[in-house]
Amino acid sequence: MFRNLAEDIAFLLIKHKIVDIEQREVYIYGLEVILLNGGLLIAFLIISLLCGEMINFWAYLIFFLPLRIFSGGYHAETSECCFILSTLMFGVSIVASKIIPLLYIFNTGKIIGAVSVLVILVLAPLINENNPLNQQQQRRNRITLYTLIFIDLVFFILSCNYAWMIATNELIFIVIDALLLLTGKLKRCILGTKY
């Protein structure tokens, strides 16, 4: 669906001589990514509004997305599969925050969060075959990731001290990021690929 729509848009852009036909595949890929990510943001916003969980949407944007960008991890084979899995993941985050809204208070939640941070620090950045990073890019991503983790930790401590409920959402998204890293690493080991 996303690929077909991207191909149609690229065809129109080429037809109207807005873009060069030799760069067709680059434009299709870029358009597919924009359509997928835009669709996900709109879907997550609608889900959050319908569930009365806007705090989860903001936590997704603030905590999950930056970590995910620089940590890497599991990627679905198709954009449609990515859309479905991402929507399920977002739904799970809403259900988890509704079931255990005070997760950040419990020692178990803090331990799971600490283990998740360790997983991220040890495994990230996990390189994707579609986006191999050179040594300098890996170092840059690692430094950025350490900075993000530090900022998240400071925010988590403040959230706990002031009883801000977003601390639970932050914890949930850090755990999800760690699980995606572990899944990506496991997939790589099973398939025996370099990336």
State the pLDDT at residue 29. Answer: 87
My answer on whether 61 and 2 are in the same domain is no
135, 181: one domain = yes
Number of independent structural domains in the chain? 2
- Main-chain phi, psi angles of 74, to 5 degrees: -65, 135
Backbone angles phi, psi at 121, to 5 degrees: -65, -35
Whether 30 and 58 map to the same domain: the answer is no
User: Considering 34, 52, 70, which residue would you say is the last residue of a domain?
Assistant: 52
Residues 69 and 159 grouped into a single domain: yes
pLDDT at position 169 is: 97
Whether residue 94 lies inside any domain: the answer is no
3 lies in some domain: yes
**What is the domain range of residue 40?**
1-52
At residue 73, the pLDDT reads 87
Residue 6 lies in a domain: yes
Same domain, 18 and 63: no
Q: Is residue 89 part of a domain?
A: no
Q: Give pLDDT tens digits along the chain (195 positions).
A: 888 888 888 888 888 878 788 888 888 888 899 999 999 999 999 999 999 999 999 999 999 999 999 998 888 889 999 999 999 999 999 999 999 999 999 999 999 999 999 999 999 998 777 667 888 988 999 999 999 999 999 999 999 999 999 999 999 999 999 999 999 999 888 877 665
Is the residue at 85 inside a domain?
no
Residue 36 sits in the same domain as residue 111: no
87 domain-assigned: no
Residues 57 and 146 in one domain: yes
Q: Clarify whether residues 132 and 176 are in a common domain.
A: yes
Closest C-alpha among 120, 118, 126, 124 to residue 193: 126
The answer to whether residues 29 and 108 belong to one domain is no
| Structural domain contains residue 125 | yes
Is residue 27 in a domain? yes
Q: Is 59 in the same domain as 132? A: yes
Same domain, 41 and 74: no
Asked whether residue 28 falls in the same domain as residue 64, the answer is: no
